Each structure stands twice: as C-alpha cells, then as structure tokens.
Amino acid sequence: MAGMTPETVTPETITGIPELRGRVGALLGTSDWLAVEQERIAAFAEATEDRQWIHLDVERAARESPYGTTVAHGYLTLSLLPYLASRSFRVEGVRTRINYGLNRVRFTAPVPAGRRVRGAFRLVAVEHQSGGRVLVTVEATVEIEGGERPACVAEMLAIYME
C-alpha cells in the first residue's frame, strides 16, 4: 500500500522495565512520516463500512468540504498508532506486550488525503501489577506535516510481561 515505505528514523531502544521506569515524563521517540493516501482511506472505508462522502468522494469534497479535499477517518488515524509507535521506540527484555486499550482519545484536526503524519510518544506512567505485569501509559500525538494542530492525541495503554 502506498505510504508504507519507511524513512531512516531508527526507533529508540529501551532495555527493560527499570530503564523504562526511569523515563517517565520523557519523550520515548518520534516516528518517521507516513503518507495517508486516498487509497488507504478508501480501504479503511471498505473495512469498516464507513463510506461517508467526506472520505471517499474527491470531487464533492473539493466542492463542499470545508477542507477542500477528502479527509482520513479519525479512527484510521487512531489505527496507525501501533505502527507509528513501533517506528518510534521498542522495549527489549520483556516477554510480551499486549494492547490494553486507551484512556482518552481526541481528534483535534482532520488529516487531508495525501498528507503525511507521524507519531510522537511520551511516557506517562509505569505501574507494576501482580504476576509480573506492568501497565504502561503512553501519550501519543499524531502530527500532520505542516499542520498547526495534531490530528490525534491519545493515551495508549499496554501490559508488558517481565
């Protein structure tokens, strides 16, 4: 799919939970840019049955949309977080990482078709739980290249197993 070719950003490597805990409040990393092309938007519309004209009808969007073009679904932007995070940082020395959900999500600006986005990830909390589980909270900000506001700000939750 168009836009998946990575640039040269190397993900930050964090060795183990103790090092991760020492980075609370810090930026874990920023991903490379990823193009959000109309092809990706159309594929997402088909996969989710969300075929609103503002996402798919290029001619109508050029005439009637306040953005002058089609825009990505907010949930498409959100669904890119795991990929963008993997291009930003990785934690080694853990058995597994499981997506635990989200605390908060806001879509603060639309992503026009053809624009590029990237993710910036800041560590909010590392909480030890029973059974060797560690709950990790990361604030994710999806930036739009040349944009004034981010497309999305979300708190991602993951369980790491030591």
Give residue 7's pLDDT.
Answer: 54
By CB neighbour count within 10 A (0-12 exposed, 13-18 middle, 19+ buried), where does 153 fall? Answer: middle
Model confidence pLDDT, tens digit, residues 131-161: 999 999 999 999 999 999 999 999 999 999 9
pTM recorded for the entire structure: 0.91
Model confidence pLDDT, tens digit, residues 57-87: 999 999 999 999 999 999 999 999 999 999 9
Tell me if 141 sits within 8 A of 118, measured CB to CB.
Answer: no
End-to-end CA distance of the chain: 35
Q: Using 50, 70 and 90 to split pLDDT, how confident is the model at 9?
A: confident
